[in-house]
């Protein structure tokens, strides 16, 4: 009977640490939650790097001081929150966007155009 209790205690301890480990690793990869929708660290980093690339194309090299002055991290998080809210609302309203609509919208962005037409090289 003592061995059964000891075995159960060990199992409980393992599950506690396993649960805590997965909880903390999940939190490490989570930047924010919007209406229960997660914004992952990967999403944040990808969008942050995209914004840096966009700024570099416009203004040239930027120092970390420049990025801090622009409050780029805060802006990126704010944009991602807005996007998640829009996605959530679109889902609630059952709004679906087709790949054709996305392609058309991208082709209409002025920074991806040359002489008034979409330029794959600028994209």
For the chain, give every domain's residue range. Answer: 2-92, 96-123
Global pTM reads: 0.61
- Mean pLDDT for each 10-residue chunk of the chain (123 residues)? 65 57 60 88 92 89 88 90 88 85 82 83 74
Q: Which pLDDT belongs to residue 30? A: 87
pLDDT in the model for residue 3? 67
What's residue 19's pLDDT? 56
- What is the pLDDT, as a whole number, of residue 23? 47
With a CB cutoff of 8 Å and minimum separation 6, the contacts of 69 are none
Residue 22 pLDDT: 46
Q: Which residues of 62-87 are buried (b: 16+ CB within 10 A; e: fewer)?
A: eeeeeeeeeebeeebbeebbeebeee
Task: Catalogue the long-range contacts made by 86-94 (C-beta closer than 8 Å, 24 or more residues apart).
Answer: 87/37, 88/34, 88/35, 88/37
């Amino acid at each position: 009977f003592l061995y059964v209790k000891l075995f159960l205690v060990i199992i409980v301890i393992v599950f506690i640490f396993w649960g805590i480990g997965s909880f903390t690793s999940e939190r490490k990869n989570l930047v924010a939650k919007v209406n229960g929708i997660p914004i992952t660290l990967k999403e944040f980093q990808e969008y942050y790097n995209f914004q840096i690339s966009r700024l570099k194309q416009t203004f040239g090299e930027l120092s970390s001081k420049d990025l801090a002055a622009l409050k780029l991290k805060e802006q990126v998080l704010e944009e991602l929150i807005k996007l998640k809210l829009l996605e959530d609302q679109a889902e609630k309203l059952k709004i679906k966007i087709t790949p054709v609509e996305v392609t058309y919208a991208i082709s209409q962005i002025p920074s991806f155009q040359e002489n008034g037409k979409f330029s794959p090289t600028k994209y």
